[in-house]
């Protein structure tokens, strides 16, 4: 599966604000995610030289291909931001046309763009005129149940040069609840000739296979199911590449992966900020362990790597005692 000339494989990590930082992207890539994206970056903030927004675009050398996702609503501002993203090493520019959050959609960006398909096309055309990189758009089913227009938006984006379409099968109104609508992904796939990446509720082999087979989409993007579970990419890759169903990692291995992940976060962000930002990640990793509720609460208080190492020891002891 290619976006433009960029090979991305069949299973990608979706952008997740506050989560898909360099450490998490690298961990997911090491488990076989063929492609990942930064979280959404404000084109407007980049135009004001905002340091934090530039930091969000930093990519490590070993994580290509990687897309940088931009949000905004002004073709000129977002296309200038695309030039900056290219300078940071982006392999693909993705435009967020799906974010439901009021502070984004309320400003006419994210999912609000779907109310104005013509503007969606203008944004894609503006980016294509300024950077020679593949451009994708990440859209939803529509803004709400009365305005289901993913196929229309996808077509306009394609006509204006989009190299692939990513569709999340929920409306903005639904946020992240309700079921992902596979039919809308199928409709988008038959409406355009560029590749389509399906997104929504892919959480295991069965749901990934159903998404691919039922909708005919070219690849799938996994978001929430990767939280505390980056080995999902190995499970899916082994299955789609070789037809092999592998066992999930043991408790010990899961904690080892968590440890490596959080150490990587701290190596990038420093221990203080790294540990603060990692509390939710640690809680996700501990899902499904014996005593998870108690240990996940404790995860909310870790402040140093030593706190985490001690938590890991206690979790392992508890597993051994409560087999």
Ligand X SMILES: Cc1cc2nc3c(=O)[nH]c(=O)nc-3n(C[C@H](O)[C@H](O)[C@H](O)COP(=O)(O)O)c2cc1C
Annotated active-site positions, please?
99
Asked if 229 interacts with ligand X (CB under 6 A), we say no
Question: CA torsion, points 183, 185, 187, 191, in degrees to nearest 10?
Answer: 180
Q: Which is nearer to ligand X, 21 or 311 (CB)?
A: 21
- The contacts of residue 256 (CB under 8 Å, 6+ apart) are none
Give the binding range for ligand X (CB under 6 A) out of 141-149, 222-230, 240-248, 315-323: 222-230
The residue from 10, 128, 168, 172 that contacts ligand X (CB under 6 A) is 168
Minimum CB–partner distance for residue 308 and ligand X (Å):
22
Q: What angle do CA 269, 21, 205 make, to 5 degrees?
A: 140
Q: Which is nearer to ligand X, 83 or 225 (CB)?
A: 225
**CA separation (Å) from 290 to 105, 173, 314?**
40, 36, 11
Give the binding range for ligand X (CB under 6 A) out of 200-208, 238-246, 252-260, 288-296: 200-208
Block residue for tokens 């959480």: 203
Minimum CB–partner distance for residue 71 and ligand X (Å):
8
Site string for ligand X, 286-315 (x = CB under 6 A): ------------------------------
Asked if 96 interacts with ligand X (CB under 6 A), we say yes
Asked if 236 interacts with ligand X (CB under 6 A), we say no
Minimum CB–partner distance for residue 221 and ligand X (Å):
7
- Hey, what are 117's tokens? 């398909």
- Hey, what are 261's tokens? 């992940």
Block residue for tokens 């897309």: 67
| Helices and strands, counts by H and E, the chain | 14, 11
Give the binding range for ligand X (CB under 6 A) out of 193-201, 261-269, 278-286, 314-322: 193-201
* Under 8 Å between Cβ of 11 and 225: no
Asked if 279 interacts with ligand X (CB under 6 A), we say no
Determine the size of the site formed for ligand X (CB under 6 A). 21
Minimum CB–partner distance for residue 226 and ligand X (Å):
8
Per DSSP, helices labelled H in 135-270 are 150-159, 182-191, 205-215, 232-242, 251-269
Asked if 200 interacts with ligand X (CB under 6 A), we say yes
**CA separation (Å) from 241 to 10, 34, 68, 218, 245?**
9, 12, 27, 14, 11
Binders of ligand X among residues 249 to 278 (CB under 6 A) are: none
Asked if 171 interacts with ligand X (CB under 6 A), we say no
Environment class of residue 173 by beta-carbon count within 10 Å: exposed (0-12), middle (13-18) or buried (19+)? middle
Asked if 176 interacts with ligand X (CB under 6 A), we say yes
| Residues that bind ligand X in the complex, under the rule CB under 6 A | 14-17, 39-40, 69, 96, 98-99, 138, 168, 176, 199-202, 222-225
């Amino acid at each position: 599966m290619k976006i433009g000339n960029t090979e991305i494989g069949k299973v990608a990590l979706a952008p997740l604000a506050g989560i898909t930082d360099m450490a998490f992207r690298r961990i997911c890539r090491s488990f076989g995610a063929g492609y990942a994206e930064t979280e959404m970056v404000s084109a407007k903030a980049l135009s004001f030289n905002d340091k934090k927004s530039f930091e969000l675009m930093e990519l490590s050398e070993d994580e290509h291909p990687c897309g940088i996702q931009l949000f905004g609503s002004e073709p000129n501002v977002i296309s200038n931001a695309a030039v900056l993203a290219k300078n940071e090493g982006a392999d693909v520019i993705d435009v967020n046309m799906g974010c439901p959050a009021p502070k984004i959609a309320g400003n006419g960006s994210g999912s609000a763009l779907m109310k104005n398909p013509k503007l969606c096309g203008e944004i894609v055309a503006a980016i294509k005129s300024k950077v020679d990189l593949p451009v994708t758009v990440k859209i939803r089913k529509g803004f709400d149940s009365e305005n289901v227009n993913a196929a229309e938006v996808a077509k306009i984006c394609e006509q204006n040069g989009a190299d692939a379409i990513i569709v999340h099968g929920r409306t903005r109104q639904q946020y992240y609840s309700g079921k992902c609508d596979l039919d809308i992904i199928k409709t988008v796939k038959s409406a355009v000739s560029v590749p389509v990446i399906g997104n929504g509720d892919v959480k295991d082999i069965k749901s990934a296979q159903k998404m691919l087979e039922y909708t005919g989409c070219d690849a799938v993007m996994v978001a929430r199911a990767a939280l505390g579970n980056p080995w999902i990419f190995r499970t899916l890759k082994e299955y789609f590449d070789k037809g092999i169903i592998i066992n999930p990692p043991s408790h010990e291995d899961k904690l080892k992966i968590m440890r490596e992940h959080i150490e990587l976060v701290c190596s990038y962000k420093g221990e203080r900020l790294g540990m603060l930002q990692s509390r939710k990640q640690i809680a996700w990793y501990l899902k499904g362990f014996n005593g998870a509720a108690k240990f996940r609460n404790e995860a909310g208080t870790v402040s140093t790597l030593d706190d985490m190492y001690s938590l890991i020891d206690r979790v392992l002891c508890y597993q051994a005692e409560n087999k």
